[in-house]
Chains A and B, each alone.
Chain A
Amino acid sequence: MKKPRSESSSPAIPLPIPLPAVINKEAAAFRRKKTIKYLLIHLAIIAFAVVCVYPLLRILSISIRPGDKLISTDLSLIPDGASFAAYVRLIKETLFLRWLWNSLLITVATSFIGVSLASTAAYAFSRFKFGGKKGGLILLLSTQMIPAGMLILPLFLMIMKLGLMNTYLGMIIAYSVSSLPFSIWILKGYYDTIPRSLEEAALVDGTSQLGAFYRIILPLSTPALSIAFLFNFTTAWNEYLVARVVLFSSKQYTWTLGLFELQGQYITQWGMFAAGSMLVTVPVLMVFLYSSKWLISGLTLGSVKG
């Protein structure tokens, strides 16, 4: 196909008469004012950006400090004699890799369970009319009103009664439904945008409704599913309060508990704490920056509609 030629490429029309000097002067003043304005904006933003990024840079610089200078009032970002000794020590002397592994297992299992439950429930909400639909949606929203801290105690007691303290299973049970209402909301919103005619065509061709869901809707909503998965994943990955009460042996710790241990009140393992923080933060930052756009639209979508 031929591309239509753009209209804007016509050359600028030269002015027939030179502008009077006054106007030129005014234009120059205007431009100068504008440059100063933009300069100020840049300066202000950079000042804020420094405040936002500086703590992260400080962790980085502490993590590469040589072992004998960990505690110092030095503020330079790249210290003298920088080395990765703290990272090596962290991996050799603590159970950090084990903590990461624990977190990973718990998180992947909860996200898997959460997203699979949410994907089918959201389909029912998106495509069917049934008694109690509105009530169900309101119930989902109202669960968000329950303060998160409030359910920790009964969940803790339930897990204790079931004998699942200090196990992965206890953690997975405690986490698995916490992001479910939110995931159902995002997925329902996404399914609503997929035209029904696609499924109708498949139904005419002879699949069942469930087959249409599995073969058409699910593959088409991969973006929304991965966002729901990421949301479940980050919530469980960064969780601290439930883990604090369910897990008590350091072999079972998730990384959040492990880092908190390293930063005790009086004896802080600064170097190892900083190294661990860096190892955890960098991947999370990358995933977040990649997915933040969708996460935000999901957040505001849910609340506006409610």
Chain B
Amino acid sequence: MDILYSIYEVLWFVLIVLTGIALIEGYFYYHFKFHDKRWFYPVALAAFPLAAAALVRAVGLAEDPVRPFLWFLGSEALITVFFRNVVKGKNTLAYMLLAPAFIGLALLLVYPFIFEIYLSFHDLKLTTIMAWKATGHLPFVGLRQYVDVFTTSPLSEVTFWALLGRTLWWTFINVFFHVAGGFALALLLNNNIRFKGFYRTLLVIPWAMPQVVAVLAMRGEFHSQYGFINIMLVRLTTAFPWLATLGIGPVQWLSNYPLTTCTIINIWLGIPFMMVVILGGLQSISSSYYDAADIDGASYFQKLRYITIPLIRPVLMPAITLGTVWTFNNINVIYLVTGQSGGTERADILVSALYKAAFTYNRYSYSAAFAIVIFAILFFVSVFYLKSFDAAKEER
């Protein structure tokens, strides 16, 4: 019964979405097709605001439908004027094809973004959330949340600046090892060897596994007693007792070195992607370059330096950009390793602290301001990066 009910629930929702799309398309169709008819204004101004107000009343968003009606009437007037005098029914089909996707994006990507900016200037936290749910009203606090981001800790003790430094370090180390490891593996695989396809399949497994499973499994391997790494360390020290005198022995990975643990896990996860991308780049290099270099008597490293690296740059640069953004924004690994109750905050980077501030500490407005700050950092870094990328392009 449960299963039948759940299917019914989802189908019902899909049906609502389809109806919504049909309504939107009908609305646009009217404005595109009949913009030059004499009855365009009166019909539009009468029908659409009334229908919208009725819908608002039926859904229960507003008790009194008069104010929404006036609001819809005003906006409909603007829209009709716009369609009659500016659009004039041009590109009907293109816009109608785009409409559902862009309305979806506007509602679920752009609107949340604007809502987050709104939140960051107000005060929504656990004590004000019930009032907000009932009335929709929030106290305005100006820039206080932004000041708090820089002066108080997002979690319980770590500061914003420590998080920022840790994030940069985490991003650099991870991307460096992803590229280095991926490059080494791709060079190895690019030889004319047997079982190439088989090896490639084995090597992409960390990337192909569901991330939750991969991270949780690796986390298990770092367990202080039953994880693979400590079992090996214990066996090593029992086999060679002199190692213990050098200070080698089982390590409390999760409680003493959480950031190192997360970094190792994330490096393990990220190498296959880089390997596959770089391998694709390597395979597209024509072997005639290498033949010519061989005739000139170039050494292996000269060939690497003067042929391979310049020729895979166009593949490598976007992959590094993508990898940097992904690593910077990686909540999954850190949250899955340290996220349980009693988890440490010594491994948190900006985005995982953001997630915890919002959902472990329930400081909603604070984390909205925090999110805007992180977004600004990412935005300026990427603008700067793109500028320098363009400059480098012009130089060549």
- Interface of A toward B, CB cutoff 8 Å: 38, 41-42, 44-46, 48-49, 51-56, 58-59, 71-73, 75, 98, 101-102, 105-106, 109, 112-113, 117-118, 120-121, 123-125, 127-131, 136, 139-140, 143, 145-158, 160-161, 167-169, 172-174, 176-177, 180-181, 184, 209-210, 237-238, 240-241, 244-245, 256, 259-260, 263-265, 268, 270, 273, 277, 280-281, 284-285, 288-289, 292, 296, 299-300, 303-304
**Cβ-defined contact, B189 with A45, below 8 A:** yes
- Interface of B toward A, CB cutoff 8 Å: 2-3, 6-7, 9-10, 13-14, 17, 90-91, 93-95, 97-98, 100-102, 104-105, 108-109, 111-113, 115-116, 119, 124, 133, 185, 188-189, 191, 193, 199, 201-214, 216-221, 225-226, 228, 231, 234, 268, 272, 276-277, 280, 314-315, 318-319, 321-322, 325, 328-329, 331-332, 335-336, 340-343, 351-352, 354-355, 358-359, 364, 367-368, 371, 374-375, 378-379, 382
**Cβ-defined contact, A151 with B93, below 8 A:** no
Complex Cα gap A42–B193 (Å): 8
**Cβ-defined contact, A121 with B364, below 8 A:** no
Residues of B contacting A273 in the complex (Cβ-Cβ under 8 angstroms)? 216
For A254, the closest partner residue in chain B by CB is: B212
Complex Cα gap A38–B195 (Å): 12
10 residue pairs from A and B, CB less than 8 Å apart: A45-B193, A52-B205, A58-B228, A73-B226, A73-B231, A101-B3, A117-B104, A153-B368, A168-B9, A264-B340
For B202, the closest partner residue in chain A by CB is: A49
The verdict on A240 contacting B340 (CB below 8 Å), with A58-B221, A172-B10 known, is no
Complex Cα gap A180–B104 (Å): 9
Complex Cα gap A217–B226 (Å): 55
**Cβ-defined contact, A121 with B97, below 8 A:** yes
Partner of B321, one of A117, A151, A303: A303
Partner of B101, one of A118, A146, A238: A118
Partner of B277, one of A73, A113, A260, A296: A296
**Cβ-defined contact, A289 with B208, below 8 A:** yes
Residues of B contacting A59 in the complex (Cβ-Cβ under 8 angstroms)? 213, 217
Cβ distance B116 to chain A, nearest Cβ, rounded Å: 5
Partner of B9, one of A113, A131, A169, A284: A169
Residues of B contacting A240 in the complex (Cβ-Cβ under 8 angstroms)? 211-212, 332, 335-336
Which of A150, A180, A264 counts the most chain B CB atoms within 10 A? A150
Cβ distance B121 to chain A, nearest Cβ, rounded Å: 14
Known A121-B98, A158-B111; further 4 A-B contacts with Cβ < 8 A: A59-B217, A153-B119, A240-B212, A241-B335
**Cβ-defined contact, B97 with A265, below 8 A:** no
Complex Cα gap A54–B342 (Å): 29
**Cβ-defined contact, A288 with B108, below 8 A:** no
For B196, the closest partner residue in chain A by CB is: A45
Complex Cα gap A153–B351 (Å): 12
The verdict on A56 contacting B228 (CB below 8 Å), with A244-B359, A263-B220, A277-B213 known, is no
The verdict on A151 contacting B203 (CB below 8 Å), with A75-B231, A260-B212, A300-B318 known, is no
**Cβ-defined contact, A124 with B97, below 8 A:** yes
Complex Cα gap A124–B94 (Å): 5
Complex Cα gap A301–B133 (Å): 44
Residues of A contacting B319 in the complex (Cβ-Cβ under 8 angstroms)? 300, 303
Q: Is the interface of A mostly helix, strand, loop or mixed?
A: helix
Partner of B115, one of A46, A140, A157: A157
**Cβ-defined contact, A153 with B340, below 8 A:** no
Partner of A145, one of B111, B112, B332, B378: B378
**Cβ-defined contact, B208 with A285, below 8 A:** yes
Cβ distance B231 to chain A, nearest Cβ, rounded Å: 5
**Cβ-defined contact, A72 with B367, below 8 A:** no
Residues of A contacting B277 in the complex (Cβ-Cβ under 8 angstroms)? 296, 300
Partner of B375, one of A75, A121, A146, A155: A146
